[in-house]
Structure 1
Amino acid sequence: MKMHAKVMNVQHATYSFGAGVFFRLIIVLAFLLYAAGLTAKTPGSKTPGVFRAAVVKIDITPNSPKMLLGYQARQSTGVHDRIYHRIIALDDGVNQFFLVSSDICVISPSEYDHVAGLLQQQLGINPQNFWWSLTHTHSAPEVGVPGLPAVFMGERYKHPVDTAYTREVEEKLINGIIEARKNLAAAKLGVGWGFSQANINRRAIDENGKASLGMNPDGEVDRRIGLMRIDKADGTPLVLISNYPIHGTVLGGTNLDISADVPGLVSEYIEEKTGVPLLFINGAAGNLAPIYSTYPNIRSSHLGEFRVLLGDKILAANKLITTTTGTVKLNTGSLMVETPRRAGLGWPEDMGKYSRTSKTGDNTILLPIRFLKINEDIAIWSAPVELFCEISNAVRESSPFPFTFYFGYTNGWLGYLPSEDQFKYGGYEVETVCPFTPSVQKDLTEAVVGYLHGEMRSMATK
């Protein structure tokens, strides 16, 4: 029986940080819960129309050897550059939104759910308003249970989960959000585009039509830099958010030094030049590699060249942002795309909520998509996958919003999501680490574009 995709809207109405049911309780109890920071209402919700923001940077570099994620199982022997959580809190006076960029490869969606649950319990933050995006460096420690990678590549996960380091990462993230929320101050927002040729299509096709990991200069690419800058009320910069698709794989599998790879090096470079943090948010990098890839060690890697190849291009894009506004409205939404699961593929126990079996025995994947609308011109969507760039390119071209950004590697990892035409070439991304069928591109694109034109356009911004 042919499976048809289903789209399930989940909380696509604007989430308000009102106290809700607590106002139906006695006034004293509501006041105590608010003071304890346990309700969804935030300090900024008393001043609608006033945009505030804050940024926090927290070191998550371990002080002992760790198993690294991204290539074969291997343990670190040193640290080349430090890794961080970079956290932004945004408050439009009614809604608060939290974006985290972490120098980690991937996490299971269940790890995101666990942290999102803690934030909801402890701070009243709706999970829809908390996005945890990973830079996808392949030289950072594992965090949490392996999830789907253990199904694809079980030989890499014979060692125990590092629960101590996982707790450290979780606690630092939560504490960073607490600090960012406490430091919220009046701010302004600007947005723009840049361009960099730091990436290349990595799906090399041979004479037999077979794909392998390599370089394909004729393949589809996305070289746009999506850039947002948040300034303080006095016009001085507070933080940059850069969105660019590139694998964190300049360093190869023989490298044993912890490193944030391209995203981390570029972030540090921008911070040195501007004096403010940069959140590097990866894009649809499923088929995009850095133009220098998988070098055996730091010395031979050309890693430093990305300061020019990408860092200077972000700086150039920043100079083009000359207009900012303190009038900002945030709206979030989400939907679940149901699409067929690849035949014969097992499924990890910790991810039971992301798949289901029909009465006829057909398995499907439940793919969560998140949306953030900022005013009338910025639309951001995210998914927990390694998306092929031609899919995000098509969504951007079809979007009614002039600034449409895709945030990849966000809120977990459900494998590679290739375009339909790439399935016939096979290769690593399709045959080894993909849980989907060729229909997934159509299922996802129709759902996302429909949402952008429908629910997202109708979200109130005044």
Structure 2
Amino acid sequence: MLFFQNRIPAFRTRIGLLAVALQLLFSLGSQAIDPKATGFRAAVVKVDVTPEGHQMLLGYGARRSTGVLDRIYHRITVLDDGKTQFVLVSSDFAVVSPSEYDKVAAKLKSQLGIDPVNFWWTLTHTHSAPEVGPPGLPALFMGDRYQHKFDTDYTDMVEKKLIDGVAEARKKLEPARLGVGWGMAQANINRRAKGVDGKAFLGMDPDGPVDRRIGLIRLDKADGTPMALISNYAIHGTVMGGENLLISGDAPGVVAQYVEEQLGIPLLFINGAAGNIAPIYSQYANHKIGRLHQFKTLLGDKIIAANQSLKATTADISLKTARMIVETPRKADLGWVDDLKDYTRTNKAGVNIVKLPVRFLQINDDIAIWSAPLELFCEISNEVRDRSPFPYTFYFGYGNGWLGYLLTAEEITHGGYEVTVSPYTPAAAKDLTDSVVNHLQGKK
């Protein structure tokens, strides 16, 4: 345009004005007609959040780190179908309070205009990573563990790197394709061992309920070259035990790093309903004699095999998000914590209620993903999957905070550790299952 104007400076005024107008139109509207801004786009970013100094570790009893075994990360993906932009974050931490999620979600809304319904922050549930933010509900059950203040400087860094990572991913959005598939790994086991008296304790139950499916989503670039994997598998991050003082992503982090080294693309490890599921090697005091490395083959190679069997991807992608609040009674005479006042209420009958936020992501007509801030027992997510009309139904656990263990009514009768850190009554499993299934089936 400038070349045209310089060659014919005396062109008639109205034509000149038209040229200026067209130039302005192209300048202001370039993104609207940019082919990269239409159709399905995606991007992924990996951000190191390993602390510089020693930190209080979350998981087991209160203890301070002495070093780093393996580095920990935010892994961030942004999906955009031209109408809906969805942000998924997988971070190598145990849990955060829903109030911490709300704080970060509010910042993303203010700074980047992202609606919280489209921002999911999931945790891999490693028990060897630092605390982030206030304790939230765990302080109600394990008050002795929190006789210290959380590190605000480290929390601020974690928050800033997450927000900056999302902003970076949005800038990197490019045309993409998406595929979905299943895999299977026998890297986990039911951990609710039971004695002859029927009482449960932390151990191994080879005959107990388990979920060994790997749910896999692959993102490719427009030319079919791989961009990233999203892997969904239920496993506690407890290969390393409470005596370990080295920061680690535990099995989820080690597996993610291994797959990334093998395939050359990021892997977002999304934990599932791991409330009663442990790694088959668990709670080692010393990483040198532990079995972290074995999960590279037990689970990492199985993720790679699932990826190899995933043949078809498509650029024709539609994203649809939704949310609901599932209300269920909380245990009688159980208190609450001040920073979670928005997650409870008292009904007209005087019953204290827990308000459970549940999120949904539907991708086209065959993928349904739901998430909740729960340490969910696998029987519940298994039933939801079995009753779902979507052939690919995934549960993304430890999502957007932690509101305790949610057990089946049957398992509550056996007692055990998980019952002591659950705010729910035996009605909760049915309340949650029915609400989620009704939503997936399109019922009100």
TM-score (norm 2): 0.92
Cα deviations across residues 114-135 of structure 1 (Å, max 9, x unaligned)? Answer: 0000100111100000000000
Who is 1:83 aligned against?
Answer: 72
**Is the contact made by 2:325 and 2:357 (CA closer than 8 Å) also made in structure 1?**
yes
Cα deviations across residues 26-74 of structure 1 (Å, max 9, x unaligned)? Answer: xxxxxxxxx9xxxxxx979998860000000000000000000000000
Match of 1:266 among 252, 255, 258: 255
Q: CA RMSD in A?
A: 1.5
- Cα 1:262–1:45 shift into 2, 3 Å: farther
Match of 1:176 among 165, 172, 180: 165
1:182-193 matches, cutoff 5 A: 182-193=171-182
Who is 2:234 aligned against?
Answer: 245
The runs of at least 4 consecutive aligned structure 1 residues that moved more than 4 Å come to 42-49
Cα deviations across residues 299-346 of structure 1 (Å, max 9, x unaligned)? Answer: 121110000000000000000110000010000001000000011211
Measure how far apart 1:360 and its partner are.
Answer: 3.4
Match of 1:311 among 291, 300, 309: 300
Measure how far apart 1:361 and its partner are.
Answer: 2.4
Who is 2:425 aligned against?
Answer: 437
- Cα 1:43–1:209 shift into 2, 3 Å: farther
**Is the contact made by 1:47 and 1:93 (CA closer than 8 Å) also made in structure 2?**
no
- Cα 1:369–1:180 shift into 2, 3 Å: same
Match of 2:223 among 226, 234, 254: 234
What letter matches 1:453 in structure 2? Q
Who is 1:130 aligned against?
Answer: 119
**Deviation larger for 359-368 or 443-452:** 359-368
Match of 1:295 among 284, 294, 298: 284
Secondary structure at 1:394 match in 2: helix
- Cα 1:455–1:95 shift into 2, 3 Å: farther
Secondary structure at 1:425 match in 2: coil
**Deviation larger for 340-349 or 399-408:** 340-349
**Is the contact made by 2:36 and 2:174 (CA closer than 8 Å) also made in structure 1?**
no
Measure how far apart 1:359 and its partner are.
Answer: 3.5
Match of 1:97 among 86, 89, 100: 86
Match of 1:143 among 132, 135, 150: 132
- Cα 1:189–1:264 shift into 2, 3 Å: same
**Deviation larger for 278-287 or 353-362:** 353-362
What letter matches 2:433 in structure 1? T
**Is the contact made by 1:246 and 1:282 (CA closer than 8 Å) also made in structure 2?**
yes
Q: Report sequence identity in percent.
A: 64
Who is 1:199 aligned against?
Answer: 188
Cα deviations across residues 399-418 of structure 1 (Å, max 9, x unaligned)? Answer: 00000000000000000000
Secondary structure at 1:202 match in 2: strand
Secondary structure at 1:454 match in 2: coil
**Is the contact made by 2:239 and 2:250 (CA closer than 8 Å) also made in structure 1?**
yes
* 2:370 is aligned with 1:381: yes
**Is the contact made by 1:119 and 1:174 (CA closer than 8 Å) also made in structure 2?**
yes
- Cα 1:61–1:364 shift into 2, 3 Å: same
Number of residues of Structure 1 aligned to a counterpart in Structure 2: 415
Secondary structure at 2:193 match in 1: strand
What letter matches 1:405 in structure 2? F
Secondary structure at 2:333 match in 1: coil
1:333-352 matches, cutoff 5 A: 333-352=322-341
Secondary structure at 1:412 match in 2: coil
What letter matches 1:270 in structure 2? V
Q: In structure 2, how many angstroms separate the alpha carbons of the residues matched to 1:84 and 1:144?
A: 16
Q: In structure 2, how many angstroms separate the alpha carbons of the residues matched to 1:359 and 1:340?
A: 13
**Is the contact made by 2:36 and 2:175 (CA closer than 8 Å) also made in structure 1?**
no
**Is the contact made by 1:44 and 1:92 (CA closer than 8 Å) also made in structure 2?**
no
Who is 1:414 aligned against?
Answer: 403
Q: In structure 2, how many angstroms separate the alpha carbons of the residues matched to 1:132 and 1:454?
A: 26
Measure how far apart 1:358 and its partner are.
Answer: 2.2
- Cα 1:285–1:194 shift into 2, 3 Å: same
Cα deviations across residues 246-302 of structure 1 (Å, max 9, x unaligned)? Answer: 000000000000000000000000000000000000000000000000011101211
Q: In structure 2, how many angstroms separate the alpha carbons of the residues matched to 1:77 and 1:47?
A: 47
Who is 1:222 aligned against?
Answer: 211
Q: In structure 1, how many angstroms separate the alpha carbons of the residues matched to 2:278 and 2:56?
A: 23
What letter matches 2:82 in structure 1? G
Who is 1:331 aligned against?
Answer: 320
Q: In structure 2, how many angstroms separate the alpha carbons of the residues matched to 1:340 and 1:240?
A: 38
What letter matches 2:248 in structure 1? S
Who is 1:27 aligned against?
Answer: none
**Is the contact made by 1:45 and 1:94 (CA closer than 8 Å) also made in structure 2?**
no
* 2:441 is aligned with 1:453: yes
Q: In structure 1, how many angstroms separate the alpha carbons of the residues matched to 2:349 and 2:395?
A: 35
Q: In structure 1, how many angstroms separate the alpha carbons of the residues matched to 2:169 and 2:38?
A: 19
Q: In structure 2, how many angstroms separate the alpha carbons of the residues matched to 1:45 and 1:418?
A: 50
- Cα 1:436–1:347 shift into 2, 3 Å: same
Cα deviations across residues 416-438 of structure 1 (Å, max 9, x unaligned)? Answer: 000111011000001x2100000
Q: In structure 1, how many angstroms separate the alpha carbons of the residues matched to 2:324 and 2:396?
A: 15
Structure label with greater radius of gyration: 2
Instruction: Structure 2 unaligned segments of length 5 or more: list them.
Output: 1-27
Who is 2:43 aligned against?
Answer: 54
* 2:200 is aligned with 1:211: yes
* 2:383 is aligned with 1:394: yes
Q: In structure 2, how many angstroms separate the alpha carbons of the residues matched to 1:46 and 1:168?
A: 36
* 2:413 is aligned with 1:424: yes
**Is the contact made by 2:238 and 2:282 (CA closer than 8 Å) also made in structure 1?**
yes
**Is the contact made by 1:243 and 1:281 (CA closer than 8 Å) also made in structure 2?**
yes
Q: In structure 2, how many angstroms separate the alpha carbons of the residues matched to 1:294 and 1:150?
A: 23
Cα deviations across residues 156-175 of structure 1 (Å, max 9, x unaligned)? Answer: 00011211100000000000
1:351-390 matches, cutoff 5 A: 351-390=340-379
Q: In structure 2, how many angstroms separate the alpha carbons of the residues matched to 1:100 and 1:428?
A: 29
Q: In structure 2, how many angstroms separate the alpha carbons of the residues matched to 1:455 and 1:373?
A: 15
